[in-house]
A and B are shown apart, each in its own frame.
Chain A
Amino acid sequence: QQQVRQSPQSLTVWEGETAILNCSYEDSTFDYFPWYHQFPGESPALLIAIRPVSNKKEDGRFTIFFNKREKKFSLHIADSQPGDSATYFCAASNQGGSAKLIFGEGTKLTVSS
């Protein structure tokens, strides 16, 4: 069973637009929600993360919006650039428990110029 679900599977936006990637989860004990990105031929790397004490986390052009009631969180990439083209994975874990990090299926983002 997929505990973390991600959509869309692929997304194409124009340079300068805001890309929105979505995730949902099932386990209410999850307390850590990171986003990783992976460029072709490379390993996944942490982009940004949030803990549910807040409902928004910003880092430059990247923002996580978190909705605990609906068990959803999203990544917004403002002013998208061709260099942002990559596969993005959301994930979730219970840091106070097993620290097992569960990933979503991934969203392949293409930014066209």
Chain B
Amino acid sequence: EAAVTQSPRNKVTVTGGNVTLSCRQTNSHNYMYWYRQDTGHGLRLIHYSYGAGNLQIGDVPDGYKATRTTQEDFFLLLELASPSQTSLYFCASGGDTSNTGQLYFGEGSKLTVL
């Protein structure tokens, strides 16, 4: 069973605060993704990576940095959090043809920026 673990599950911060969301996968997948989910917008891709040290820009990257330190670990960084970044964030692994393209999602991290 594919496994993707996110932390923290819930986070509250203030405007201008510094937030790091962590994701670890034990699936040996090459690809990892960070999405945000907002009502009316579905899942929007922030950043993704196809291996340690690699970073690809997604569709809504402004205000976010990301780093893939190992094949297992992918971090999303908000260095100056704003209320517009209040959202539910999902990490996922998979997506390449070696595993049929399926994404496996973590449990989600709910971020509130006051």
Contacts and interface: CB of A to CB of B under 8 A. Distances in A.
Contact of A95 (B42, B43, B97): B97
Contacts of A93: 95, 101
Interface in B100-114: 100-103, 105-108
B44 A101 contact: no
B31 A99 contact: yes
A44 B105 contact: yes
Contact of A49 (B48, B56, B102, B108): B102
A89 B42 contact: yes
A23 B56 CA distance: 26
A49 B101 CA distance: 9
B50 interface: yes
Contacts of B50: 99
B45 A95 contact: no
3 tightest Cβ-Cβ pairs between the two chains A and B:
A43-B105, A103-B43, A105-B42
Interface residues of B, number: 26
Interface in B73-114: 90, 95-97, 100-103, 105-108
B59 interface: yes
B101 A34 contact: yes
Contacts of A6: 42
A101 B106 contact: no
B68 to A, nearest CB: 14
Given A34-B102, A46-B103, A49-B101, A101 B108 contact: no
B93 to A, nearest CB: 12
A104 B56 contact: no
Interface in A73-113: 89, 93, 95-96, 98-106
